[in-house]
Chains A and B, each alone.
Chain A
Amino acid sequence: MAKLYSRRAILAQIALGAGVAGAGLPVSHAFAAQDDRPWSFFTDAEAQWIAAVADVFIPQDDFPSASQAGVVDFIDFQMATAYGAGEGLYLDPPFPSGAVPEQGYQLKFTPAQLLRQGIEQAGQLGDIATMDATARADHVEQMSERDDIVGTLIAELWKLTKQGYFADPIYLGNHDYAGWRMVGFPGAHAYYTERVDADKRSVTPPPRGIAHDRGGTPYPPRAIGGGSD
């Protein structure tokens, strides 16, 4: 097999399940060489765990998996910035038990705390890194049904995974417009007055993000795994 960029090989193993080769991963960007960037928030182990779960949510097919599209980078960035620190979240005590789901989020944790503590607790329920793809999917399903911090964590990660896959690439996910190309969403530059009632659609314009004209996505997704180059 052709020699893969080594960190990406590890990403492939982590993300797709042990033993599955990651041939065909997109290394399509001029900045692809910048791969020793540390995580802003995650430890390598946390990043691996997130990648495994995110790729259960959105696995690879003709389009990249979540982690291949930069979802882990996206979540890392979110956790290190305002959202992770609890912006838009009222966290005044008390936090009584007995909440019903209709009352929404009632934990005392910021998203960053939820991810860190949730991942730690989830680690006690099984080692996702050693599971094959089917076992991972079952494991994520079971975690999602739990009525505790792990269940809340999985719900939060599913939300964040979709955001990372489809948000503007300025947030480091949706790399190379993976999500937008998959559905056919042309992005931020939007003027459709002349087309909206056309009988037959013309070709959807290629995606363009907010910073497209300034060079598009600044970085490709980080390699995940911390393996040696």
Chain B
Amino acid sequence: MAPRKLPKTDVLIIGGGWTGLTAAYELTHAGQRCVVLERGKKRHTATSFGAPEEHDELKYAHRYSHMMDVKKETLTIRNNRDQQALPMRRLGSFLPGSGLGGAGIHWNGQIWRPLPSDLQMRSHYEDRYGKDFIGPELSVQDWGVTYEELEPHLDFFERICGAAGFAGNLGGEARAGGNVFEGPRSADYPNPPMRQPISNTLFGEAAARMGLNPFPMPSANVTKAYENPYGAQLHPCTYCGFCERFGCGYYAKADPIICVYDQIKDHENFEIRFDAQVLRIEKSEDGKTATGAIYLDANGEEVFQPADTICMNAYALWNVHLMLVSGLGKPYDPETRTGVVGRNYSYQTVAGVDAFFDKSVETDPYMGAGALGVVIDDYNGDNFDHSDLGFVGGGYIACKQYHGRPIGYQPVPEGTPKWGAEWKQAVRENYNHHADLVVHGSSVSTPENYLDLDPTWTDSFGRPLLRMTFDFPENDRKMSDYVMQRAMDVAREMDNVTSVSGTNNAAVDKHYDIVPYQTTHNVGGAVIGTDPETSVVNRYGQMWDHHNVFVFGACLFPQNLGYNPTGPLMGLAYWTLEHMKRDYLPNPAPLMDA
């Protein structure tokens, strides 16, 4: 049966998370009638995330009640092309969102900017280290947009979130106590940094003694009563320790519901439909534009929503999936290394360092917050000399205290048996005397890490599953090991530390594993750029092949930064929206020549 056809709207937005609701806010105010289709449920910070019920570790942190349902949609996974990809039958390595606010309601709130050199990764390394420094096995490329161009938009998103931090580079002037490596900021953070617990403080002191440059992690866990530019009211964080994987009923963690949705929901040009699962995007007969999207409504009926302009805001992985099942753009073929959709998928290379204190340091790990950390950026990006290291990229090292939720937080020193009496004793003795360090490393793109469609398994809507082919590239194994060693050096320098151990997800003898949580920082697959042979969208986020489709989210990243993605991807979102409003909507046409 042909899908029921609805009246046309100006803009159709697929996905109601950070990027989708922001697109709706900005385009609605530009006079566009916007319809947002969100596959998940309606929910609200005020009514859905209140304590103490929200503080249910089992339900939210381990049963993933706020996240997407793999029974409906999942992907298949393999480490290389010689393996058979098999379904990700349970969530694990990453936790994509579903429902109003998307993953933005259960993020940590670590709000970063890219380094200026990150956005010109290939040309920067070639200029500094020579043409051949980036080996042929890497498909690292420039973003096609510069830090200077993104700065006002990065700054604006920090204001939307009421970000808490201390600027390390204010208008070109370095400031001790902030991140001295960051690009110039046009203004300081809107709110002062978070208060730091003892473990993070001792880390900062040790790093400073070693001549490194510690600073408080930039945070969207808000530190003061604050009103954002859209008029949203935020409250100070209580350090409740139920932050990442949970919604914040205190209105203290910036989320897209309170920061954006509440400020747009009553606008006459705005409409959002929940339980609206987009199945595919339809193209015009000549294939040059998209005409709208077919979705399943709450009653399970297929509906066609026509639109003049389409914004893809379904999260990195599902944007790529929608392109592949809809025939948007040219799919990537690793055999011939041609095509672009699915190309340059990358991730985040994470290592952990555990430091254990003697009994005199009591950390109270349950007092935590999603972005509570002290960081050094001395080994991130190209902030350190790579000449003799044999790799590109780096990562930040943070000592962090997110939570002490006891199902998930059971730090024990190396050599402890995996269960039994000794394990129990060790958990008991170390719970309150542990410093938790992370190496949050970049991820280069390679021709062999990519996304396409699986030949065997389908989702509950009958569409082929997305297939992920990914393993840690040699470059990132070296990078991660190097930066982890530096993290261990700092951990050993910390006062009252009695033992230090490290775990590297990308260690030589390990392959990327879909089971343990790493990060929900899936990036690439529909990358931004200036060359249609190596990018899906032009530098304004507009599809080369279908000029009325604009793409948002981390799928745009040509390779991954050493930072968490939301600050950068929201900077890109505001950049795209500015060009849509100023240049595209008055004259709908390609914004760049192919």
Name A residues whose Cβ lies closer than 8 Å to a Cβ of B: 56-59, 61, 63, 83, 87-92, 94, 96, 98-106, 137, 158, 162-163, 166-168, 170-171, 179-180, 182-193, 195-197, 199-201, 204, 208-210, 212
Q: Please tell me if the beta carbons of A104 and B79 are within 8 angstroms of each other in the complex.
A: no
Q: Please tell me if the beta carbons of A102 and B90 are within 8 angstroms of each other in the complex.
A: no
Q: Please tell me if the beta carbons of B196 and A197 are within 8 angstroms of each other in the complex.
A: yes
Knowing A88-B63, A104-B514, A162-B407, say if A190 contacts B241 (CB, 8 Å): yes
How far apart sit A101 and B405, CA to CA, in the bound complex (Å)? Answer: 27
Q: Please tell me if the beta carbons of A163 and B407 are within 8 angstroms of each other in the complex.
A: yes
11 pairs, CB–CB < 8 Å, chain A vs chain B: A56-B419, A89-B90, A90-B89, A102-B515, A103-B78, A104-B77, A104-B89, A189-B55, A190-B366, A191-B240, A197-B195
Q: Please tell me if the beta carbons of B58 and A171 are within 8 angstroms of each other in the complex.
A: yes
**Is there a chain A Cβ closer than 8 Å to B131's Cβ?**
no
Q: Please tell me if the beta carbons of A167 and B240 are within 8 angstroms of each other in the complex.
A: no
How far apart sit A7 and B478, CA to CA, in the bound complex (Å)? Answer: 58
- The interface residues of chain B lying within 8 Å CB-to-CB of A170 are 56
- The interface residues of chain B lying within 8 Å CB-to-CB of A61 are 421, 424-425
How far apart sit A168 and B362, CA to CA, in the bound complex (Å)? Answer: 24
Interface of B is mostly: loop
Q: How far is the CB of A101 from chain B (nearest CB, A)?
A: 7
CB proximity to A under 8 Å, residues B500-531: 511-515
How far apart sit A163 and B52, CA to CA, in the bound complex (Å)? Answer: 18
Q: Tell me the total A-B contact number using a CB cutoff of 8 A.
A: 173
Which of A90, A100, A105, A190 is the one whose CB lies under 8 Å from B51? A190
Knowing A83-B63, A102-B514, say if A190 contacts B86 (CB, 8 Å): no
**Is there a chain A Cβ closer than 8 Å to B431's Cβ?**
yes
How far apart sit A208 and B55, CA to CA, in the bound complex (Å)? Answer: 11
Closest to A210 in B: B52
Q: How far is the CB of A82 from chain B (nearest CB, A)?
A: 8
Q: Please tell me if the beta carbons of A104 and B404 are within 8 angstroms of each other in the complex.
A: no
How far apart sit A179 and B240, CA to CA, in the bound complex (Å)? Answer: 19
How far apart sit A183 and B408, CA to CA, in the bound complex (Å)? Answer: 13
Q: How far is the CB of B48 from chain A (nearest CB, A)?
A: 15
Q: Please tell me if the beta carbons of A183 and B432 are within 8 angstroms of each other in the complex.
A: yes
Interface of A is mostly: loop
The 3 closest A-B pairs by CB, nearest first: A188-B52, A188-B55, A190-B240
CB proximity to A under 8 Å, residues B546-588: none
Which of B86, B237, B366 is the one whose CB lies under 8 Å from A99? B86
Closest to B79 in A: A102
- The interface residues of chain B lying within 8 Å CB-to-CB of A106 are 86-87, 89
Interface string of B90-123 (1 = CB under 8 A from A): 1110000000000000000000000000000000
- The interface residues of chain A lying within 8 Å CB-to-CB of B367 are 192, 195-196
Q: How far is the CB of B416 from chain A (nearest CB, A)?
A: 14
**Is there a chain A Cβ closer than 8 Å to B296's Cβ?**
no
Q: Please tell me if the beta carbons of A192 and B240 are within 8 angstroms of each other in the complex.
A: yes
**Is there a chain A Cβ closer than 8 Å to B45's Cβ?**
no
- The interface residues of chain A lying within 8 Å CB-to-CB of B431 are 183-185
- The interface residues of chain B lying within 8 Å CB-to-CB of A137 are 420
How far apart sit A58 and B428, CA to CA, in the bound complex (Å)? Answer: 12
How far apart sit A41 and B329, CA to CA, in the bound complex (Å)? Answer: 51
Interface string of B401-429 (1 = CB under 8 A from A): 00011110010000000111100110110
Q: Please tell me if the beta carbons of A103 and B77 are within 8 angstroms of each other in the complex.
A: yes
- The interface residues of chain A lying within 8 Å CB-to-CB of B236 are 193
**Is there a chain A Cβ closer than 8 Å to B499's Cβ?**
no
Knowing A188-B55, A196-B197, say if A201 contacts B512 (CB, 8 Å): no
Which of A91, A158, A190, A193 is the one whose CB lies under 8 Å from B55? A190
Closest to A173 in B: B58
How far apart sit A208 and B52, CA to CA, in the bound complex (Å)? Answer: 10
**Is there a chain A Cβ closer than 8 Å to B84's Cβ?**
yes
Knowing A56-B420, A185-B366, say if A104 contacts B92 (CB, 8 Å): yes
**Is there a chain A Cβ closer than 8 Å to B323's Cβ?**
no
- The interface residues of chain B lying within 8 Å CB-to-CB of A104 are 77, 86, 88-90, 92, 513-515
- The interface residues of chain A lying within 8 Å CB-to-CB of B242 are 188, 190
Closest to A99 in B: B86
Q: How far is the CB of A177 from chain B (nearest CB, A)?
A: 10
Q: Please tell me if the beta carbons of B238 and A182 are within 8 angstroms of each other in the complex.
A: no
Knowing A103-B86, A183-B427, say if A201 contacts B364 (CB, 8 Å): yes
Closest to B457 in A: A92
Q: Please tell me if the beta carbons of A89 and B89 are within 8 angstroms of each other in the complex.
A: yes
Q: Please tell me if the beta carbons of B71 and A102 are within 8 angstroms of each other in the complex.
A: no
Q: How far is the CB of B156 from chain A (nearest CB, A)?
A: 28
Which of B57, B71, B77, B195 is the one whose CB lies under 8 Å from A89? B71
Q: Please tell me if the beta carbons of B238 and A88 are within 8 angstroms of each other in the complex.
A: no
Q: Please tell me if the beta carbons of A204 and B79 are within 8 angstroms of each other in the complex.
A: no
Closest to B55 in A: A188
How far apart sit A196 and B89, CA to CA, in the bound complex (Å)? Answer: 39
**Is there a chain A Cβ closer than 8 Å to B387's Cβ?**
no
- The interface residues of chain A lying within 8 Å CB-to-CB of B514 are 102-104
CB proximity to A under 8 Å, residues B33-61: 51-53, 55-58
Closest to B196 in A: A197
Closest to B431 in A: A183
- The interface residues of chain B lying within 8 Å CB-to-CB of A184 are 431-432
Q: How far is the CB of B471 from chain A (nearest CB, A)?
A: 9
Q: How far is the CB of B30 from chain A (nearest CB, A)?
A: 39
Q: Please tell me if the beta carbons of B406 and A166 are within 8 angstroms of each other in the complex.
A: yes
CB proximity to A under 8 Å, residues B314-339: none
- The interface residues of chain A lying within 8 Å CB-to-CB of B428 are 63, 182-183
**Is there a chain A Cβ closer than 8 Å to B139's Cβ?**
no
